[in-house]
Every structure is written in C-alpha cells, then in structure tokens.
Amino acid sequence: MYLVRRAARFAISAVLVVLASFAMLHLIPGDPVRAAMGPTAPADAVAARRAELGLDRPVLDQLWTYLGKVATGDFGVSALTRQPAGEMVADRLPATLQLVLPAIVVAFAVAVPLGMWTAARTEHGRSPRTELAFSSVTGILTVLPEFLLAVFMIWLFSNRLGWLPPAERSGPSSFVMPVAAMAAGPIALLARYVRLEAVRELSSDYIRLARAKRLPVHRIHLRHLLPNTLTAALTSGGTVLSSLLAGSVVIENVFRWPGLGGAMVDAIVNKDYALAQASILVYGIIALTVVFAVDLLLVALDPRSTLRETG
C-alpha cells in the first residue's frame, strides 16, 4: 500500500508539473512569435506563424492540445529554430545529467561521513572549536547563493591560481568547479541533518550497550550508527537533491555549460513556448523521480518507515 500511495502521489505531481509548465509561460506577458521574428516582421507573417503554432486559439484549446501532444511525447516546435523541442531537450539533457549525477554522489559521499565524524568529535560538549567551525562553515554554505560561490571559485581557481578552466566543457578538469559549486549547499544541509541524528543516536541505549561490550569504535559507527544516520539523510535528501537540480540551472549559466539549464533560460527570455515548456517539464519530472527513488531506497533500508507513515 505504501508503494501504491507513493506511485499515486508521483502521478498526481507529474500532472501538476505538466499543468504548471503550460501555465507558467502563458502568464508571462508578450508575444512569443513577435519576439522570435523581430519587431520589423510583417503583421501578416506574424499572424500566419501564430496560426501555425496554434497560439491564435483560446487558451483552453491550447491546453488540451498541449496535454494530448505531451501524452504522445510531442513537445511542439521551437518558435526560434523551428526544430522539435523534444529533440533539443534530448540533445541538452545528457550534459545536465553529467553535472547533476556526480553532484548527488558527492553530496552524500561527503555529507554523511562529515556529519557522523562531527557528531562523534563533539559528543558530550567535547571540541567546541570543531562544533563552531562546522556550524559556521555549513551555515554559510547553506545560505550562500550558488551564483556567488561559482563566481568566487572561477576567480580563485581559474583567474588567480590557474588550476582549472574557467568555463565550458573541455575535459575532466572542467567538471570540478561546476560539480563542487552545485554540491556545496546540499552537502552543508545534509551534513547538519546527519549530525543532529547522529548526536541523538550516540546517546541511545543500543549505542551504550555496544560500548559496554567494548566493541571497536569503527564497528559501532559503521554497523550501528551509519544505517540510522543514512536513513535520516535520505529522509531529507529528496528535498535537498531537488534543490540541487534547481541550482543546476544557475551553475550551467555561470560556467556556460551546454546543458538544459542554459537552453531553458534562453527559451524563457525569448518566449520560446515549446522549448521552455519542454525544459520545465523535464526538470520537474526529474525532480519528482529523484524524490520517488529516495522514497524507495528509504523503504529498502528501513521498512519501518512505512509503518511510521501509516501510523
């Protein structure tokens, strides 16, 4: 029943994303055809193009047509390039995933051990300097906009030190700064969640019992503490990783990455309805898929989570 409810929630959310992708662009003032053809284009040519794209029909008619096309995988034709929007998204999406997927892996790989280590290090009020440094750094990274962090990294590691290329996809080293800038905020949030959960777990009875049995510290942390803190990280991880996906739009534009984020921003600015709607829809579906996958992984690691939700 739990999986059925999650699947139903996913389906409902996907429908809402489709509706939002349609409504968002139509709420922006301006004529997309005029913007694409330029202010000097003849009025009859603009009218013919609007009729060709179906933009001269009532909004509800456009919505039903849009829903029908989306159901068959047809996202329309770009008003600027006259290419199928679906093909343009498919060409750009791999570059976005090349940043997003490593950033997700880095976020969990760094945040979980960092949060656990800080909790163990600062247990019972020990090492207040470590706690202060952890709280300060993660607090700053949590509220620091991705744009500012990315610009600072370009200034430091590219302009000043010359270690990394400043922008564009040009080899393995060009991935370092975009992935790091994208993962920094999620690492800070997840590490704080993990630390709070680890502090609670370290004072629990089963940890006291393990220590009373004089089990090695690494065994206590890996066998007993890690599964519970990982569950806590996954519980909040879906939302955090969705924000990571949203941040990828900013990162791609700063680093001039040839991904979907840059195409989506250009499409919105130029009022290219078809490409903008397809991009927003794909981003929304990916975010929902990440949250759904995290829910499934959480159930696999902790079946009791289904009981907690129903209770």
To the question of domain 98-268 being in CATH 1.10.3720.10, the answer is yes
Q: Could you tell me the pTM of the whole model?
A: 0.78
pLDDT tens column, 23-65: 876 666 666 666 666 677 777 877 787 777 677 777 788 788 8
Q: Quick one: pLDDT at residue 178?
A: 92
Q: Which residue has the higher pLDDT, 259 or 168?
A: 259
156-214 tens-digit pLDDT: 998 888 888 887 777 888 899 999 999 998 899 888 888 888 888 777 777 777 777 77
pLDDT at 35: 65
Each residue's pLDDT tens digit, 226-239? 777 777 777 776 66
Nearest 5 degrees, angle CA 226-CA 231-CA 232? Answer: 100
The two three-digit tokens of residue 135, written as one number: 């709280």
Domain ranges in the chain are: 98-268
Query: Which amino acid, 213?
Result: K
From CA 29, how far away is CA 155, in angstroms rounded?
A: 37
Res 42: pLDDT: 79
Is residue 158 within 8 Å of 205, Cβ to Cβ? Answer: no
Two structure tokens written together for 63: 């919505």
